[in-house]
Amino acid sequence: MSTLQFKRSPRLAAPRPPGGEVHLEPPPEVPRVIPGNIVLKALPVVMIVASLGLLVFLFQSSQRNPLTIALGATTVLGTLGMMAGGGGKGSGVKRAEMDEDRKDYLRYLGQMRDRAREAMVDQRAALEWVHPDPQTLWSLAASRRMWERRQNDSDFLHLRVGRSSHRLATRLVPPQTGPVDELEPISTLALRRFVRAHSIVPDLPTQIALRGFAAVCLQGDLELTRGLVRAMLAQIVSFHSPDDVLVAVATAGRAKGEWEWAKWLPHVQHPTLSDGIGQLRMMAGSLAQIENWLDEELRDRQRFSRNATPAPDQPHVVIIIDDAEVTREEQIILEEGLVGVTLIDLSESIGNLASRRGLRLVVEADRMGARSTGGVEWFGRPDTLSVVEAETLARRISPYRLGSSGGQDAAEEEPLLSNPSLLELLGIPGDPMTFDVQQAWRPRPIRDRYRVPFGVGEYGQPVELDIKEAAAEGMGPHGLCIGATGSGKSEFLRTLVLGMLATHSSSTLNFVLVDFKGGATFLGLDKAPHVSAVITNLADEVTLVDRMKDALAGEMNRRQEALKNGGNFKNVWEYEKARENGADLDPLPALFIVCDEFSELLAAKPDFIDLFVAIGRLGRSLQMHMLLASQRLEEGKLRGLDSHLSYRIGLKTFSAAESRAAIGVPDAFELPSVPGGGYLKYDTSTLVRFKASYVSGPYRPAGIQAAGPAATVVRADKRPQLFVPDFVELPKEPEPEQIEAAPVAAAPQSEEAVEPSELDVIVSRLIGQGPPAHEVWLPPLKDPNSLDTLLPNLNPTDDRGLSPVGFFGNGRLQVPLGIIDRPYEQRRDPLWADFSGAAGHGVIVGGPQSGKSTMLRTLIMSMALTHTPEEAQFYCLDLGGGTLAGLADLPHVGGVAVARREPDKARRIVAELTTLLTEREGRFGAMGIDSMTEFRNRKRRGEIRADQDPFGDAFLIVDNWRALRDDFEELETTITRLATQGLSYGVHVIIAANRWADIRPAIKDMIGTRFELRLGDPTESDIDRRVAVNIPAGRPGRGLTREKLHMLGGLPRIDGSSDPETIAAGWRTRWRRSRVRGGAGRRRRCGCCRR
């Protein structure tokens, strides 16, 4: 069968349905009757009686003056006239006014009736245009309206099923009135009848959204249900193209003849499979066969959900089931159904899928209803279409196939349906793998700087975002992006950032990319030289939010200092202009901060809004730009930030209210459920609709095709074939001619190779092309440093053994123990322990498994590497886990007592240090030594021989102070005395405890060097309770310095490894290879150890 290409035109505008509200006026009120004064009512009667009496008197008097008689008669007549006139005025006039009010109100209702009828006509015309009678659909074949609905249209797969009564689109709002008995009754009755008669519009088309159901089950007489399904199918094939909707029919037996006409429909032809007479007709006797044919179309689809977003490149599949074989083991009817698949069942063979995820319609001759657990709710009269009418329509449509406007030129006809290429929008020629990066990064005019297209508008024009401030003809510097789940928000952010990366060098623009949740939004962008930081997974480690706050605040301070030190520039624009004119200044690129899920960030840390507001206020001068993105918008949390947001981007939102809050109108809520569509608002009146580019799709090299076998040429049978719905086997042919295909390039791929996306390819081209961005965010403290990284140039020497050559702290009691994190200064410093002065005693406090013993070992090892055994000796009381015993082989360690097993040894160690203290008191006095510093200098010069004092600085190490207090109570007093007097004579005390409360003030006050690791109860912190809460649990070595900075203790190993499980092996091997020599190796044992 020959086919014709149908070029789908842009959709005609449908008649606009009426809307709004009409507030009706209240009917008139009945005038109230006010009772009169009885004196006033009686006065006329008294006057008449008096006048008549006067007249009678004049007639009976002897003096009958005619003038007097006439005067009396006139008085009587005037009184009667007055009574007559006054009695009619109270009732007749009011009745006349009421009649006029009634006429006016009925005239008003007549005007409202005309207005309501006009609204009814407009409402009917609008619905009849969108949902015409199925019997008239044949006239749309090959017309401009054929296949007019696209997947992103709001009425995609909205199908008419009959007629029913609808509410008037223009709502009639009854008035607020007083009590009914005070209203004019005729007007009130007329108002009631008017509202009742015109609030409902009868006999309007009624539709269902087929996309929102996994299955539609029809119950009733088969002739009626088939007629309704034919009417629905006629609408599908008339308004939706075969590229957007596929139709399959599973039927057998007697029902098969009722559906043979469907073979003509282009929607029933399989998109790729063929048989002996052409494209395969998707009509079979079993649902399993249909599922097998559609395997490629259905393979990657998720389970059905009404909230799921259909993929724009996947057609919707409609399967009609009428008396076909259904085993109920088919994947498409198991569990919840599939996204983008709807089953229309006329034989009730798919189980309860329709009741769980679909619609059950009951069809009768003159009515139709929806069945639920509560019964049948009747709502209208069903449509029907005969077989002859359906076949007429099918034959008229059968030759047509969607032409170029639905394929590669769709962007010209419907730009909002296209998938624009980002490089084409950017005006960058060539393939993503080969485009000229330096050419794309060439200097741009000020107008084009920080301006980048990210999608296309309604007419195919590029839609750009310019993050410069309005004074520089931009839209920025700060903006907001709101998009619901499935709206394409993450993809939009990737597209925008990638467009900036591809058009600006890293010396011009840098990025801080923040994703409060998982981190997939900016996956792959961290390799670009522009990216100063990618901060992710903050939801899992909320403590990092404070660190990010410090880092961004520090970046603001760094930029302010750069402007000040560079020449007191007012803003970065002036700074960069001076640099371009030859000033010796370092580049200060603009910084674009993109924060996804900022609403959840503010929910976790509400005070973070203060930093956002500060950036909003100072960002113009410092060239720090923000784009805050989230799924929802709670304006109450912005607290002044909204005044700094210059542009707003609204993708598909959850509600009209969120759309109105984001962009001022509800249009974003009404967007179709197609990812990437949205609105850009950058001033009070401009609202631009766009379709964003898609950069996460697989990369397709230009001109490269997959390699395949040799092409096969089959000589087709030219004899006419009867066009039947059933599958027709291909006729047997002689051996086909083999034509060797031209070789094509194909990159070898492993089975586990991941196909790169367009984003991955573009970023790979940027790597190494520009200077790396300044690091705003250093990686969080995670892996501890080994001592050989803290003490560089570690090599054996003749005089000091294995030591850091040239290190300033050699022999000075100043050693590094780990790393201090300084996010505000954007750097890390060594964690120093200085025992040379008043801070000569130390304490390490931390909860169980916080790394106390490891830090003690790091201290001893660091001292051993920077001091000879003559300069420093260590005597250890191990009441913890026994880890200090592993250091007993060090020449600097005079003795280790595992106190619980060796109590006497522990007491002798303390006693010997006490003896050392006592001896030095006498020796210092006898030799005129006034300080420990002088003692060290004399001994270094050889003025004090080893036989006079073989010791240097002696350190008493106590691991688990609380256990010593409990098990060796008498030693606490002795050690306290050592701490009180020892520093003057070179005796140092270093203890480790679980809690600060375990250390009595008498010794605590003597300790100047303090380290606090993670406490069991952070509220017991001696440094800062609020900061201590943020020390992560389960990270040994993490703690606080006295400056309230986070630190991480190092590992006592010198092999470069950060594995805490193999510490012993990490130092023994190299230490033994580099054994100290000569005098540097003599060990100063205490008496107990020598014995």
What are the catalytic residues?
A: 597
User: In this structure, what are the phi and psi dihedrals at residue 942, rounded to the nearest 5 degrees?
Assistant: 85, 10
Q: Which residues contact 966 (CB under 8 A, 6 or more apart)?
A: none
Instruction: Tell me the binding residues for ATP.
Output: 483-490, 846-853
* Two tokens, residue 749: 């791929």
- Report the alpha-carbon distance of residue 500 to residue 593 in Å, rounded: 12
* Two tokens, residue 466: 């310019």
Residue type (1 letter), 420: P
DSSP state, 627? E
- Report the alpha-carbon distance of residue 1026 to residue 781 in Å, rounded: 19
Alpha-carbon Rg of the chain, whole angstroms? 46
Q: Given CA atoms 947, 952, 958, 959 in this order, what sign does their dihedral have? A: negative
Residue whose entry in the numeric block shows the structure tokens 């004196």? 39
For the packed helices 66-130 and 38-60, what is the interaxial angle rounded to 10 degrees?
150
- Report the alpha-carbon distance of residue 852 to residue 1013 in Å, rounded: 8
- Alpha-carbon dihedral angle through residues 600, 601, 607, 608, given to the nearest 10 degrees: -140
DSSP state, 340? T
Longest dimension (CA), the chain: 175
Instruction: Tell me the binding residues.
Output: 483-490, 846-853
- Report the alpha-carbon distance of residue 680 to residue 454 in Å, rounded: 11
Cβ atoms of residues 240 and 149 within 8 Å: yes
Residue whose entry in the numeric block shows the structure tokens 């709101």? 482
Residue whose entry in the numeric block shows the structure tokens 């509410």? 167
- Report the alpha-carbon distance of residue 383 to residue 353 in Å, rounded: 24
- By DSSP bridging, strand 451-457 and strand 687-692 are antiparallel
Provide DSSP, 491-519.
HHHHHHHHHHHHHS-TTTEEEEEEESSSS
Q: Between vectors from CA 156 to CA 154 and to CA 158, what angle results, nearest 5°?
A: 100
* Two tokens, residue 501: 């990366």
Q: Between vectors from CA 898 to CA 897 and to CA 900, what angle results, nearest 5°?
A: 120
Question: Rounded to whole angstroms, what are the CA distances from 1039 to 6, 194, 851, 1034?
Answer: 71, 78, 9, 12
Residue whose entry in the numeric block shows the structure tokens 């920025």? 476
Residue whose entry in the numeric block shows the structure tokens 């492993």? 750
- Report the alpha-carbon distance of residue 127 to residue 204 in Å, rounded: 7
> How many angstroms separate the first and last alpha carbons of the chain?
108
Residue whose entry in the numeric block shows the structure tokens 């470069």? 1056
Q: How far is CA 795 from the centre of its chain?
A: 52
Nearest partner of 924 among 939, 909, 912, judged by Cα: 939
Label residue 103 exposed, middle or buried (CB < 10 Å: 0-12, 13-18, 19+).
exposed
- Report the alpha-carbon distance of residue 680 to residue 215 in Å, rounded: 37
**Partners of 217 in the β-ladder:** 345, 360
Query: How many beta carbons lie within 10 A of that of residue 814, not counting itself?
Result: 18
User: In this structure, what are the phi and psi dihedrals at residue 599, rounded to the nearest 5 degrees?
Assistant: -65, -40
Determine the 3-state secondary structure of 1033 from DSSP: coil
Q: Which residues contact 409 (CB under 8 A, 6 or more apart)?
A: none
Query: How many beta carbons lie within 10 A of that of residue 1049, not counting itself?
Result: 28
For the packed helices 969-981 and 903-927, what is the interaxial angle rounded to 10 degrees?
20
